[in-house]
Each structure stands twice: as C-alpha cells, then as structure tokens.
Structure 1
Amino acid sequence: MFLQVRELVSGYDRSTVLNGVDLELAAGATLGLLGRNGVGKSTLIMTLMGLVPVTSGSIRVEGTELAGRRPDVVAKAGVALVPQGRRVWASLTVDEHLALASRGRRGGAWTVDGVFDLLPRLAERRRQYAGQLSGGEQQMLAVARAVLTNPRLVLLDEPSDGLAPAIVDQVAGMITTMRAAGVAVLLVEQDLHLAFAVSDEIAVMEKGRIVHRVPTAEFRRDPGTAQRLLGVA
C-alpha cells in the first residue's frame, strides 16, 4: 500500500478530533471520504499533510514514517494538498503560482505546458492575478499548483465547494487524469455525484473514525446505509 495510517489520533489544543483512524490507499486509487459536518474529515487531511499535530499513531507513505513531520517534509515525500477554499495568493499571477510550485519539484510527467493543455482557461488567464480569477478558475489553479509538484498522493478537501457544475466536471477530469498517471487521491467531498464519479471506493467517517468502507458501486446499491451514516437518500 502506498499510504498506511494506523490508530491516528490528532486534534487542536486539548481537543481530540481524530480518535484512531485506520486507512490504506494504493497507488493510482481514489478514495472518496464522506461524512456529516464536524466528524473530522478535514482534520484528517490536514493531519496527513503535517498541518495538525499528531498525538499518537502512524502515517506511512511508501514505508516512510511521516507522523509528526513538518509539511515541507511531507511534501518532499510526494504528498500534495488542495485545501478547502482554494487559498491562492491574490497578489500573484497564475504564472507566478505555477513557477513557485515547479521550483524544486520531484521529477515526473506534470509540466506547466501539460497543465495548460488540460486547463486552457487557466492558460488564457496566466498573466492575471489570482485575486482577479473566478472561484472556478482559482480552484483550477489550486489543483494545478498541487499536481505540478509531481506528487504520488493528492489530498483534496471539498474541491467542488461553491463551483458551477461545468467546473466540477473539470475537477473530475483532473482527478481521473491523476488516477490514470498512478497518483493516489484522497477526496473529501460533499458532492456525492463527484465522489461517485471518480472514486474506486467510498469511506465514511463518524466521530473521528472511519466506520464504513466499500467499493463505490456497492455503496450506491445500499441507500439504507447512506441514509443512516449521512442522512441522505
């Protein structure tokens, strides 16, 4: 397994959010992580990236222990984050964002020209400041910034949030392209259509733990479980 998480406990200040998460993810696989608000999905993403301190447990990427390591160390191990809310720098242009992402990157197939081929609208806006982009364009920039590091694992936190359906389709296309290139993807998402479209498996979190995980097709055939765990039909 490319990613192996064992008994992971983390949280903020003296508050525990993750209560013993166990998770495995193979190279080239996409796992859709679902759950009600406040169950720890984003905290898991941020903990894996080194942005939330680990209380106990293990995070291994290709056998290397990363629990408690700094975000830059995690990034150098091949992990990239697309955070919720985009978090691009308003005063930098698209070109400047991508130049920074390319600096010191791991060797691999992703290049600026390749990203622009996949996202022609971003190419058209390459000299615009990120603060002048639409929400959808900023999301494309956030994804492009992540893949240009040539990661082996991408953590996506609510990438469809606030986006028009056409832009969500582009996000889905990027995830599919990453998966085809052998990149593992952990997708936290409220949009079930997106999660179902791109995920090999679906996992559900409750109270800081993963309580259910099955192939996507099986999850879709079991509306009773979806209703019980997510409150949706």
Structure 2
Amino acid sequence: MTDVVVEALTAGYDRSTVLDGVDLSIGTGGALGLLGRNGVGKSTLIMSLMGIVAPTSGRVLLDGQDVAGRRPDLIARAGVALVPQGRRIWAPLTVAETLALAGRGHGRRWTTDAVLDLLPRLRERLGQQAGQLSGGEQQMLAIARALLTDPTVLLLDEPSDGLAPAIVDQIAELLTTLRGEGVTMLLVEQDLHLAFTVCDEIAVMEKGRIVHLTGTPEFRADRATAHRLLGVA
C-alpha cells in the first residue's frame, strides 16, 4: 500500500515549461480524479510521475521515498504502473502473449489467473491478437498489463477515451474493485461520471498548476465552480 505526495513539480519539453509547481497528495488506497481542459498539463503530469518526462525540479514521494527523475523501469519497480491514453496495446501479440510478457518477473500479488478472474472477458480472448479486440477489450487488456507489474499505484490517462457508456460503466466497476484491493489511483479523465464514481477527491488543473482540490461530493454540489473551471453544467 502506497501514498503519493507531489511537491512543487516542474517539467516540460525542450525550453517549454508545462508543469509549473504542481502540488498534490493521494492517501494510501485513495483515488484522485484530475480534471481540466485540453492542454493544461494533465498527461504531462502522468508521464512525469512515471519517469517518461524528466522533471526539472520538485519531488515525487512514494511512502516518503523520492522517485522524481528516476528511470521508468525503476519507478515501475517501486510500485507504479501506467495505463496510457489510447491504450497502446501490442497489436500483433495475442492476449495470452501480452499477459505472459507483462507478468515476467512479477506475480507476487497480481498473477495471470487473478487478473483473468477479475477480467473474465480476456480469458475468452486469450488466443486472439490484441489488435483485433474491441476498444473496451483493449482497455481491459491495458489495465491487465499494468496490474501484472504488481503495482500499488495506478496512473490512468483517459481510460474512457472512445468507449461506449456501457463499457465506461464496466471500467468504473473494475476501478472501484481495485480501490477495494488497496490500489492507490490517479485518474486523468474527461468523463465526469467515471471520475465521480471512482474517485474520492477531485483536482482541477489550469496552466500547469492545481487550482482547485476538494472532495468529490463537494465538487459535484458546486456547479458554479465546475462550470467556471471546466465549462460544463
């Protein structure tokens, strides 16, 4: 079980600063929904936490241990897993091959059997190439791939992207189950229903900073603030 604390995190690309002193915290087993308009830095934050983008300053603490600036493989070994936007599954591989590759060197808590019990649809598709799966099945496979690295922290970037509402409801149910297993989550999402269902806190980002942070019930009740920050009713 892991808590996450981000302190004054700054990052960007070349000479451009995208994250401008981000501060946030997620308690062990908690879920924070990160909202904001396009281009404000949400995906950059996810990639910085995973080590794909190197921060220029600030700290990322996992149970008090600073992992900011480490290589992605070392951050993964520290217990962080990424479900990327667009899923990025390995299309030529079968479901079984994907799970076998993702689970190499792991299997302490999340074994292949445990993941397939959680996602029985994938068990029915073990021999099928990942690129031939439906969008919802590919998203399930992306989550399964992440779980097989045995994470205590799960970073999810727009998991509802391109999916039908019924599939989004299945994703919400799955993520709620994972929270019950003690997995700490940061969920970047445009689908407010998914974020509100899964997360106990909501943060809003503007211009590379967290400008609003509150409990989910309070955010849902404050429609004026939601409209001002997100342009939604």
Q: TM-score by structure 1 length?
A: 0.97
The 5 Å alignment of 1:83-122 reads 83-105=84-106, 107-108=108-109, 110-122=110-122
Deviations 1:164-216 (A, max 9, x none): 11211121122111111111000000000100011101100000011111110
Residue 207 of structure 2 is aligned to residue 207 of structure 1: yes
The 5 Å alignment of 1:53-202 reads 53-105=54-106, 107-108=108-109, 110-202=110-202
Amino acid at match of 2:34: L
Amino acid at match of 2:108: G
Query: Secondary structure of the equivalent of 1:54?
Result: coil
Q: What is the count of residue pairs matched by the alignment?
A: 232
CA distance in 2, matches of 1:189, 1:67: 23
Residue in 1 aligned with 2:5?
4
Residue in 2 aligned with 1:27?
28
CA distance in 2, matches of 1:47, 1:202: 20
Give the drift of 1:119.
Answer: 1.7
Q: Does the CA contact (< 8 Å) of 2:3 and 2:29 recur in 1?
A: no
Decide which moves more: 128-137 or 215-224.
Answer: 128-137
CA distance in 2, matches of 1:171, 1:141: 12
Give 5+ residue unaligned stretches, structure 1. none
Aligned-residue Cα RMSD (Å) equals 1.0
Query: Secondary structure of the equivalent of 1:48?
Result: helix
Decide which moves more: 170-179 or 78-87.
Answer: 170-179
Q: Does the CA contact (< 8 Å) of 1:76 and 1:106 recur in 2?
A: no
Give the drift of 1:53.
Answer: 1.3
Deviations 1:65-115 (A, max 9, x none): 11110000000000000000000111111111111111112622x221222
Give the drift of 1:135.
Answer: 1.1
Give the drift of 1:121.
Answer: 1.5
Q: TM-score by structure 2 length?
A: 0.97
CA distance in 2, matches of 1:121, 1:159: 17
CA distance in 2, matches of 1:139, 1:31: 20
Amino acid at match of 1:219: F
Residue 33 of structure 2 is aligned to residue 37 of structure 1: no
Moved over 3 A (4+): none
Amino acid at match of 2:126: R
Give 5+ residue unaligned stretches, structure 2. none
Identity %: 69
Q: Does the CA contact (< 8 Å) of 1:106 and 1:151 recur in 2?
A: no
